[in-house]
Amino acid sequence: MAPPAAPGRDRVGREDEDGWETRGDRKARKPLVEKKRRARINESLQELRLLLAGAEVQAKLENAEVLELTVRRVQGVLRGRAREREQLQAEASERFAAGYIQCMHEVHTFVSTCQAIDATVAAELLNHLLESMPLREGSSFQDLLGDALAGPPRAPGRSGWPAGGAPGSPIPSPPGPGDDLCSDLEEAPEAELSQAPAEGPDLVPAALGSLTTAQIARSVWRPW
């Protein structure tokens, strides 16, 4: 009678048999998996041929050529989207700057007609707004404001931007009796107030007047 086999040896033998069976299954499945993978690649390449159908795509293009054309098309699409984003950002910046200039013009009109505001404070405020203007490098608004700064100075004795357009210089005191309140602004006739900012060349109105009608007609950003 043969002696019984050790239980440890039986367990090792079964594990070896399972390992061989697993390796055999993998070897048997490998050709099938490879065939499916190649079929997926060929199907995708055929879809690319259909998507790229045109004068540049021929029926007998190699797979490498199809992939190269696909890469070029994708790169072109990405570049086009980047240009569109840059254009939208530039237009938004121009609308923001146009709204800023218009608001600064309204502030300039107010401080020019209100006698209760000190001339030095008004000059500092207007110069600060001018220096804080959100302009990009090479923007057309910089040229507009540069031309306005180099324009003829205001007539003496009238409040507004500093004479000669130089930021930082004090504004001449407006003529008329000194008044601590701006009530005279409300009592003054509307026609007189409407003529006040148009008496002489101003920095901000000159910049606004140089803008094209299409730029002003577009939606303008306002802080309210």
Per-residue pLDDT of the chain (224 residues; tens, 9 = 90+): 455 555 555 665 566 666 656 666 777 778 888 989 999 999 998 888 888 876 555 667 788 888 998 999 999 999 999 999 999 999 998 899 889 989 989 999 999 888 888 889 989 998 998 888 876 555 555 555 554 444 433 433 444 444 444 444 444 444 444 444 444 444 444 444 444 444 333 444 444 444 444 444 444 444 54
Instruction: Give the CA distances from residue 12 to residues 8, 23, 154, in Å, rounded to whole numbers and listed in that order.
Output: 6, 17, 104
CB < 8 Å & 24+ apart, contacts of 219-223? 219/95, 220/95, 220/98, 220/99, 220/102, 221/95, 221/96, 221/98, 221/99, 221/100, 222/99, 222/102, 222/103, 223/99, 223/103
Which pLDDT does position 30 carry in this prediction? 84
CB-based contact 59:50 (threshold 8 Å): no
Which pLDDT does position 15 carry in this prediction? 62
Which pLDDT does position 206 carry in this prediction? 46
Which pLDDT does position 76 carry in this prediction? 93
What is the enclosing helix (H) or strand (E) of 45?
helix 7-51
Residue extents of the structural domains in the chain: 92-217
Q: Which residues are CB-neighbours of 56 under 8 A, at least 6 positions away?
A: 69
- Of 148, 160, 165, the closest CA to residue 206 belongs to 148
Which pLDDT does position 50 carry in this prediction? 84
